[in-house]
Amino acid sequence: MRVRGLHKSYGELEVLRGIDLDVVAGEVVCLIGPSGSGKSTLLRCLNLLETPQAGSISVDGFTVTDPDLDVDAMRRRVGMVFQQFNLFPHLSVLENCTMAQVKVLKRPAAEARRVALANLRRVGLSEKADQRPAQLSGGQQQRVAIARALSVDPDLMLFDEPTSALDPETVGDVLSIMRGLAADGMTMLVVTHEMSFARDVADRVVFMDGGVVVEQGPAREVIGSPQHQRTRTFLSRVL
Ligand code: ADP
Ligand code: MG
């Protein structure tokens, strides 16, 4: 993924002020920064949930911001996991994982079911396939959300603070699934305040503040010896 000169405003409020960012295949990038710095807005632009006013985003050589682009074709390359899970409450766990496959990828129902069950197994929840999201714990719901995102075979997974809404005892389960994905070579862009995850798993850490990338580099360098005062101030609050 290649992002250049991305700008996004809501009315007078300029939230993204020229973002340049690359994520190469197989790389795990952690995006950190204070609340309100534009991290969620950036992820929403990358998944075309928001339309930026300027700049370009390309994935696999396709320019996402091209107005002629088939948005569905693009969206299926990018999986997204939200802080609040965003599962469909009226559908079963299995149906949550088959819906996009059938509706967007036009997969036959039997194949969609097979893929969904394989991904539920991967997150350790195949025995919950027939339950409703509300019957699961927060950590289990987030694992279903990961299985759902994986079920459309994305090239890139975006995670927006996937553990921030979880009880402390379920955070570890979700992080270990994410570690597994990273070890399997999934390309991931992860907004997180889990600095130990960033330090252990990320190939690169990007620090954002005020709608710009302030500093980026190998995880150990950015977290261990940040170059900018704003990064130091932020890290002193979260570490
Ligand atoms: P972060 O995820 O880093 O906490 P956000 O991207 O959520 O930051 O928000 C950045 C800024 O954009 C905040 O000031 C927020 O209030 C504002 N913002 C986000 N979404 C909207 C929206 N839909 N309409 C107006 N302002 C928004
Ligand atoms: Mg956010």
Bridge-based pairing state of the strands 2-10 and 156-160: unpaired
Counting ligands in written order, which one lies closest to the CA of residue 162? 2
Residue 154: pLDDT band (50, 70, 90) is: very high
Mutate to test the pocket of ligand 1, among 13, 82, 158 (most ligand atoms within 8 A of CB): 13
Token pair 């994520």: residue: 23
Ligand 1 atom closest to the CA of 41, numbered from 1? 6
Does ligand 1 lie within 6 Å of residue 193's CB atom? no
- Give the pLDDT of residue 1: 93
Does ligand 1 lie within 6 Å of residue 154's CB atom? no
Any alpha helices (H) in the chain, and if so which ranges? Answer: 39-46, 71-75, 93-103, 109-122, 138-150, 168-183, 195-201, 219-224, 229-238
Q: Give pLDDT tens digits for 34-54.
A: 999 999 999 999 988 999 999
Predicted TM-score (pTM) of this structure: 0.96
Bridge-based pairing state of the strands 28-32 and 187-191: parallel
Ligand 1 atom closest to the CA of 35, numbered from 1? 4
Closest of 169, 166, 164 to residue 194, by C-alpha: 164
Collapsing DSSP to helix, strand or coil, 89 comes out as: coil
Ligand 1 atom closest to the CA of 38, numbered from 1? 6
- Give the pLDDT of residue 67: 77
Ligand 1 atom closest to the CA of 50, numbered from 1? 23
- Average pLDDT score over the chain: 95
Closest of 211, 187, 210, 209 to residue 222, by C-alpha: 209
Residue 72: pLDDT band (50, 70, 90) is: confident
- Give the pLDDT of residue 74: 74
21 vs 60 pLDDT, higher one: 21
* Cα 234 from Cα 239, distance rounded (Å): 9
Neighbours of ion ligand 2 (CB under 5 A): 39-40
62 vs 165 pLDDT, higher one: 165
Q: How many A from CA of 134 to the centre of ligand 1?
A: 28
- Give the pLDDT of residue 124: 96
